[in-house]
Structure 1
Amino acid sequence: MNFDKDWEETEIQLSENEFTHRQQNDEYMFYQYVASGNTEAVQDNIAHHRFLDSSGTGTLSRDPLQNLKYHFVVSVALITRICTEKGMEMERAFRLSDFYIQKLDDIKTIDSLSDLHSTMVMDYTLRMQNLRQNANLSRTTNECLNYIYSNVNDRITIEDLAEYTQNSTSHISRLFKDELGISPSDYIRNVKLDKAKNLLRFSDYSIIDIANYLSFSSQSHFSKLFFEDTGMTPKKYRETYYGTTWNNLH
């Protein structure tokens, strides 16, 4: 295949059609809105269906759906990079990127792809908003939060946090109370329950598998804590929210 010849022919066609890519400033500004946790600006972008606006965007595939899928991958890659530069934990950012890119396999229509893009950008935006709210946390507290996220499927104790940060358990407890207004054990429980909600919404794992994966002492204990947090059993929560996106829950 003669790529040089193909490229020259493509270049001529684009020049004749006076095609120019969208101003980079527009895209960069949108990514900055995401990275700064500006939910209002991102929601406005979603409302105007900017992801589906093909003016000023390159053609990466002749198939319209595949073309948008390629643009989706580019978008999530750039958002991941900018969010990590703005403070999101790298492992968390890349896990999130992998999660959404894998979701493309199930996308069959442009509308569902647009919905996925909206969910993805708002997910990153809300996480960055939360990160900015925690920007004034001490280094030790942030180390604890990163440890909890990275080991959410393990049984985590305040002793684990103290050992990881090389502090006393009383110091860790005091930091959580002063900076987060919550005890370490309650924070760990909340993170696990949030993870459980996502698994109930977006996976087919059984309730007992989720309870075991997140290291709850038993399925009944997990169900009890889940009901206290949501007012719903895990089964009812899955029946209500399975497969729903962020805007159905906010």
Structure 2
Amino acid sequence: MIKNGVLYERRLEDDLLQEYFLYVPTDCKMGAKLLFSVHGLSRNAKDIAEHLVPFAEKYGVVLVVPLFSEERFSDYNIMGNTGKGYRPDHALQKIVAEVGNMTPADTEQIYLFGFSAGGQFVHRYALAYPERIAKMVVGASGWYTFPDPTVPYPRGILPASNMLDIPIKLDQFLHISTCILVGELDIQLTASLDQSPEINEQQGINRVERGRRWYFAIREAAGNRGLKTIYHYRTLRNSGHDFVQCMQNGDMGRFIFDFLFSNSAVITNMHQNVLKVK
């Protein structure tokens, strides 16, 4: 029995090795919105859940934070494309189904937020399953899948020979309202940041530049199709590549939940921010 207002650490009933955190707000209404938040390579799922719980409570949102372990999901950021581990998209879908059976949440369309490698996962998951996504926020990804049909996945959308059965549905993906958040100090060339020449040339040398280039690439691709999809890009003040710092200094939690679940003035401020950095 799931009690409202309690953060649970759970395991899938049909896969006890798959862990996830679940929070159902105190005043959870039938059809409540469902947010999945995905960790980076530090796999700090509990830390992310604890920081996002107050926002989930305020907005009446059911919060799920899966844990993709290193042992089972070594390449979850690219959707298990290398075949080195389990498929994180399949695991997420099982969690969605289980949460739908336990809570009043609406599981037809979900909301996504991912930080660092989690940001890589959520936008690639959205490329494969856009019909399941309402909105998403991509936080400080190391690199991205660009809407370029001449470049093989995962840098572009050209199907690769080792791509397994991961679908790419770009046209539907470009309908998803998306916000990109990156710490303004996230310009360090850390060990976890892929510095291959191909990625540097296509996307830039740091996370600030790469997020900005991807923002303009998806906005242009949507515009070429006559779409008026909402896209925002924002740098977070006094923040580097650190989730807690982005939450405390950069007010990231407010930006995430306002973009996904409200129409407040902060959204307008996000748009002004991207115009300045163009």
- Structure number with greater Rg is 1
Decide which structure has greater helix share. Answer: 1
Q: Which has the higher contact order (CA 8 A, sep 6+)?
A: 1
TM-score scaled by length of structure 2: 0.29
TM-score scaled by length of structure 1: 0.31
Decide which structure has greater strand share. Answer: 2
